[in-house]
Amino acid sequence: MANKSKFQAIRGTRDLLPPETALWNRVEQTAHEVFTTFGFGEIRPPIFEPTELFARAVGGETDIVSKEMYSFPDHTLWGVEGQRTNIILRRPNFEDIRAVSLFVSQVDDFISQVDVALKAGEMPKTNDNDRALEQLRSGSDRISTFLVPSTAGLSEEQFKLTVAFIQDAAAALKFGDQVSLRPEATASVCRAYIEHNMQQLPQPVKLYYMGPMFRRERPQKGRYRQFYQIGAEILGGPDAPAIDAELIEMLMTFFDKCGLQGTELSINSIGHAADNCRRGYVARLKAELERVKDKLGADSQRRIETNPLRVLDSKLDHEQPIIEKLPRIADHLCDECKTHYAAVKHELELRGVIYRENWRLVRGLDYYMRTTFEITAQGLGSQNAVCGGGRYDGLVELLGGPPTKGIGFAIGEDRLILSLQESGKGAAPQGRDVYIAWMGERAYATAIRAAKDLRNAGFRVELPPTELKFGKALERASKLGSRFALILGDNEVQSGEWTLKNLATSEQQKLTEQALLDYLHGL
Ligand code: AMP
Total H helices, total E strands in the chain: 19, 16
Q: Rounded distance, CA 521 to CA 498, Å?
A: 16
Higher pLDDT pick, 314 / 426: 314
Residue 61 pLDDT grade (very low, low, confident, very high; cuts 50, 70, 90): confident
Q: Rounded distance, CA 84 to CA 65, Å?
A: 27
What is the pLDDT at residue 3?
A: 66
User: Which amino acid does the sequence have at 49?
Assistant: E
In this predicted structure, the answer to whether residue 151 has a pLDDT above a threshold of 60 is no
What is the pLDDT at residue 221?
A: 87
Tens digit of each residue's pLDDT (9 = 90 or more) over 208-238: 999 999 999 999 988 999 999 999 999 999 9
**3-state SS of 82-148?**
HHHHHHHHCCCCCCCHHHHHHHHHHHHHHHHHHHHHHHCCCCCCCHHHHHHHHHHHHHHHHHHHHHC
Q: 206 CB less than 6 Å from ligand 1?
A: no
User: Which amino acid does the sequence have at 212?
Assistant: P
Q: What is the mean pLDDT of residues 358-382?
A: 87
Cis? peptide before 204, omega within 30° of 0: yes
Measured CA to CA in angstroms, residue 142 lies from 130, 138, 166 at distances of 18, 6, 10
In this predicted structure, the answer to whether residue 59 has a pLDDT above a threshold of 90 is no
* Closest alpha carbon to 266 in 182, 334, 361: 361
Residue 114, CB-side half-sphere exposure with 13 Å CA sphere? 30
Other CB atoms within 10 Å distance of the CB of residue 449: 11
What is the pLDDT at residue 149?
A: 65
* pTM value > 0.85: yes
Q: What is the mean pLDDT of residues 488-502?
A: 94
| Helix or strand holding residue 189 (H, E) | helix 186-195
Residue 364 pLDDT grade (very low, low, confident, very high; cuts 50, 70, 90): low
What is the pLDDT at residue 66?
A: 85
Q: What are phi and psi of 92, to 5 degrees?
A: -60, 140
- Which atom of ligand 1 is the closest one to the Cα of 389? 4
Q: 409 CB less than 6 Å from ligand 1?
A: no
What is the pLDDT at residue 437?
A: 97
Nearest CA to ligand 1 atom 12: 412
Q: 217 CB less than 6 Å from ligand 1?
A: yes
Q: 65 CB less than 6 Å from ligand 1?
A: no
Residue 5 pLDDT grade (very low, low, confident, very high; cuts 50, 70, 90): confident
In this predicted structure, the answer to whether residue 324 has a pLDDT above a threshold of 90 is yes
In this predicted structure, the answer to whether residue 183 has a pLDDT above a threshold of 90 is yes
Q: What are phi and psi of 382, to 5 degrees?
A: -75, -25
Q: 385 CB less than 6 Å from ligand 1?
A: yes
Q: What is the mean pLDDT of residues 369-382?
A: 90
Sign of the four-CA dihedral 158, 159, 161, 165:
positive
What is the pLDDT at residue 378?
A: 87
Q: What is the mean pLDDT of residues 171-181?
A: 94
How far does the centroid of ligand 1 lie from the alpha carbon of residue 414, in Å? 9
User: What are the residues whose beta carbons fall under 8 Å from the beta carbon of 363, sequence distance 6 or more?
Assistant: 270, 309, 372, 390
Q: Which residues of 112-150 are buried (b: 16+ CB within 10 A; e: fewer)?
A: ebbeebbeeebbbeeeebeebbebbbebbebbbebeeee
- Tell me the pLDDT of the chain averaged across its residues: 93
| Residue count of the chain | 523
Residue 63 pLDDT grade (very low, low, confident, very high; cuts 50, 70, 90): confident
**3-state SS of 47-72?**
CEEEHHHHHHHHHCCCHHHHHCCCEE
* Pocket-testing residue among 64, 227, 361, ligand 1, by greatest number of atoms within 8 A of Cβ: 227
* Pocket-testing residue among 54, 220, 225, 415, ligand 1, by greatest number of atoms within 8 A of Cβ: 415
What is the pLDDT at residue 153?
A: 64
In this predicted structure, the answer to whether residue 374 has a pLDDT above a threshold of 90 is yes
In this predicted structure, the answer to whether residue 147 has a pLDDT above a threshold of 90 is no
How far does the centroid of ligand 1 lie from the alpha carbon of residue 379, in Å? 16
Sign of the four-CA dihedral 455, 456, 457, 458:
positive
Q: 69 CB less than 6 Å from ligand 1?
A: no
- The residues facing 297 across adjacent strands are none
User: What are the residues whose beta carbons fall under 8 Å from the beta carbon of 485, sequence distance 6 or more?
Assistant: 434, 435, 436, 437, 473, 474, 477, 500, 501, 503
- Which atom of ligand 1 is the closest one to the Cα of 231? 6
Q: What is the mean pLDDT of residues 287-312?
A: 91
Higher pLDDT pick, 61 / 341: 341
What is the pLDDT at residue 152?
A: 58
% residues pLDDT > 70 (the chain): 98
Rg (CA), the chain: 33
Q: Are 263 and 255 in contact (CB under 8 A)?
A: yes
In this predicted structure, the answer to whether residue 35 has a pLDDT above a threshold of 90 is yes
Helix extents (H) in 219-362: 241-258, 278-292, 298-306, 320-324, 335-350
Nearest CA to ligand 1 atom 3: 388
Tens digit of each residue's pLDDT (9 = 90 or more) over 404-419: 999 999 999 999 999 9
